[in-house]
Amino acid sequence: MSTAATKTSASSTSSRAASTAFRTFATVFAITTPILYVICEMANWPLFTYHPGTNRIDFGWAPAVRDEGPAMHWYGWTANTLIGAALLGVAATALPDRVTSKIPLALVWIVPLAAIPLLIYALRFFWRW
Amino acid sequence: MDALLDYVSVNTFWTILLIVHGLLAVALLGALTHQAVSVLMPVRQVAGMPSFVTRFRAVHGAGYASAVCFLWIATFIFGAWIYSKYRITIRIPIEQEGFWKTQGAFEMKEHLASIGLGLLPIYWYFWRNARNADYDGPRKWLTACLAAMGWYMFLVGHVVNNVRGFGS
């Protein structure tokens, strides 16, 4: 095999490998994001709490402070979710292809849909008549 | 930001952010809707002059993927920025007026926006490999999911703005 052909073959293989790794990362990221988000929301596990009235940020969950306005946890839930999903996605790329190729791709849209009823239930406080 | 507030009032500043957020959302919704319709009702063959609906369906979906990712993230960033102002000046009066379902629908919008972020990498990957038939099914339904989420978020944002938004 010529040098050029060897380089092309190596480049193609490398590109395909990178693509497979990205697919694994993105698949696991998409599947775990709704799961982690529902857990963070229902268990109220924000990475940080933002107090918009005073622009203060507390690490983890913190209650609203009297006379200082509300506390916001959504930013912290989102941060926790994205960091957790990214870590799981990166970890999944270390698994062999024969394992990751068995992950059903349909889960990337089924899991987010399944999360919706849970989130509606989590918001039951607001469904008052 | 303080320098900008020397030239515009605080209300004008937040109004500008809200309008930019809304315009980005309109662009995102247009791109996602075109793309979703193109995969859910693809055009097979056109005889004669194509109708408006046919032309609407006949777009090349892959060409929208990067724009959709960019617009989702940009809309999210502006929305997250406005949310801090919303929490104090909009949500509290909405609760005082007892519009609980409106508030709940808005909370759901925030949830969907965050979950949608997590779906973007694989959505982009599926469309980048649009010729791979293995991805046809998940690409189709993931795009439809994102479009449905986009429509929900857009409509709820519009309703909340009507309840207490621009100019209130």
State whether ipTM is beyond 0.90.
Answer: yes
Q: Give residue A3's pLDDT.
A: 56
What local confidence, expressed as pLDDT, does residue A4 receive?
Answer: 55
**Contacts by residues B96-104 (CB-CB < 8 Å, ≥ 24 positions apart):** B99/B163, B100/A125, B100/A126, B100/A127, B100/A128, B101/A126, B101/A127, B101/A128, B102/B159, B102/B160, B102/B163, B103/A126, B104/A123, B104/A125, B104/A126, B104/A127
Q: Which of A29, A81, A127 has its CB closest to that of B114?
A: A81
pLDDT of residue B38: 93
Residue with tokens 């050029």: A4
Structure tokens at B114: 């965050």
Q: Which of B99, B119, B145 to mutate to test the interface with A (most CBs of A within 10 A)?
A: B119
How far is the C-alpha of A61 from the C-alpha of A2, rounded, in Å?
61
pLDDT, one tens digit per residue, over A9-38 is 555 555 655 689 999 999 999 999 999 999
Query: Closest approach of chain B CAs to the CA of A11, in angstroms?
Result: 18
CA distance B153 to A75: 17
Q: pLDDT, tens digit, for every residue of B86-112? A: 999 889 889 898 999 999 999 999 999
pLDDT of residue A1: 47
According to DSSP, the residues that pair with A59 across neighbouring strands are A48
Three-state DSSP at B8 gives coil
* pLDDT on residue B11: 87
Contacts of B32 in chain A (CB under 8 A): none
Q: Give the number of residues written for chain B.
A: 168
Contact by Cβ (8 Å): A78, B116: no
- Rounded to an integer, what distance in angstroms lies between the CA atom of residue B145 and that of residue A114? 12
- Assess whether pLDDT exceeds 60 at residue B24: yes
Quote the tokens at residue B68.
């959709």
pLDDT in the model for residue B135: 94
Q: Say what percent of chain B tops pLDDT 90.
A: 67
Given a cut of 80, whether residue B63 has pLDDT beyond it is yes
Q: Is B163 on the interface with A (CB under 8 A)?
A: no
Give contacts of A 7-66 with B, CB under 8 A.
19, 22-23, 25-27, 29-30, 32-34, 37, 41, 50, 52-53
pTM as predicted:
0.91
Most confident residue range from A12-16, B51-55, B111-115 = B111-115
Q: What pLDDT does residue B54 have?
A: 83
Residues of B with Cβ-Cβ distance to A53 under 8 angstroms: 88
Q: Convert the pLDDT of each residue in A75-119 to its tens digit.
A: 999 999 999 999 999 999 999 999 999 999 999 999 999 999 999
User: Which of A36, A120, A129, A71 shows the shortest CA–CA distance to B107?
Assistant: A120
pLDDT tens for B127-141 read 999 999 999 999 999
